[in-house]
Chain A
């Protein structure tokens, strides 16, 4: 039984949950705050995350070129099983049908829009719920419920739409 990722993700979750609560971080709040009131604090946090991760991945790839690609046998899209070649491509080709790309982009658009209306990205909602917000708690019920339904039939339905 592989315990290592389970324990690691638990600890990571606790750490980012703690820092996230203290910093009020939100991944959609960044652009939202900037557009609404020219406040760039969250946006800088987002940039910091992106740059750090990018530098991190680049460093690993530079030091051990096979490290990242060797471990990943393919991209399993969470919820929609699709397996383009799982090699690390920097600006490589997208090996996916156009309809799939459109669906993904459209879903991302909806994700951004609805998250702004919900007043926070999924991460922020978890933090708010942990602080005692009851509306965030109901959000989470819907969030997890929706994902379970996704596993039961929504995912397959969408996949069928795109590949059928």
Chain B
């Protein structure tokens, strides 16, 4: 990483290794293929936080009973660190884009949980050999293609 800009392949290999390692060496074992997922782990953090401060009893993964899995927090920290170190941090003034991203984010969160994972985890589950994930990834790719078509159509 000190030798210039890492490319996407570097990211892929690193994350692939870490996702498997998390399950095999670091106890992230339930459910399977759970090493990295922004939606699932994000849900654990959010639900744990709500449970802790509001006394609710949202169902939380078995690994997150005492303290939640912190993948998403780590990503925020790591990315912030990288952008500050490389002077790419730019506080962007709140333009008009508030409601649409908010609603999109909400819909995507719900969709990801129903699809049993964010795109990262869907691919991870396919790599693990989960048949349901193969169907899921097909849906994902179709959706991406459809979305891309929409973008192209909108751009005229």
Contact = CB atoms under 8 A, between A and B. Distances in A.
Contacts of A12: 18-19, 22, 35-36, 71, 74
A74 B106 CA distance: 28
B69 to A, nearest CB: 4
Nearest to B60: A151
A62 B102 CA distance: 44
A146 B79 contact: no
A135 to B, nearest CB: 4
Interface string B1-26: 10001111111111111111111111
- The bracket for how many chain A residues form the interface is 35 or more
Contacts of A77: 31, 116
Interface in A1-36: 1-25, 27-28, 31-32, 35-36
Given A15-B18, A17-B82, A144-B109, A2 B27 contact: yes
| Majority DSSP secondary structure for residues of B touching A | helix
Interface residues of B, number: 128
Contacts of A99: none
B102 A138 contact: yes
Contacts of B77: 13-14, 17, 130
A37 B109 CA distance: 28
Interface string B79-116: 11111001011111111011111111111111111111
Contacts of A13: 70-78
Contacts of A136: 101
A63 B83 CA distance: 40
Interface in B15-47: 15-32, 35-43, 45-47
A21 B78 CA distance: 8
B43 A79 contact: yes
Contacts of A22: 1, 5-6, 82, 86
Contacts of A57: 20, 127-129
Interface in A106-139: 106-118, 121-123, 125-127, 129-136, 138-139
Interface of B: 1, 5-32, 35-43, 45-47, 50, 56, 58-59, 61-83, 86, 88-95, 97-120, 122-124, 126-132, 135-148, 150-152
Closest 9 CB pairs of A and B: A13-B74, A45-B8, A112-B143, A17-B78, A48-B12, A52-B16, A116-B147, A142-B105, A108-B139
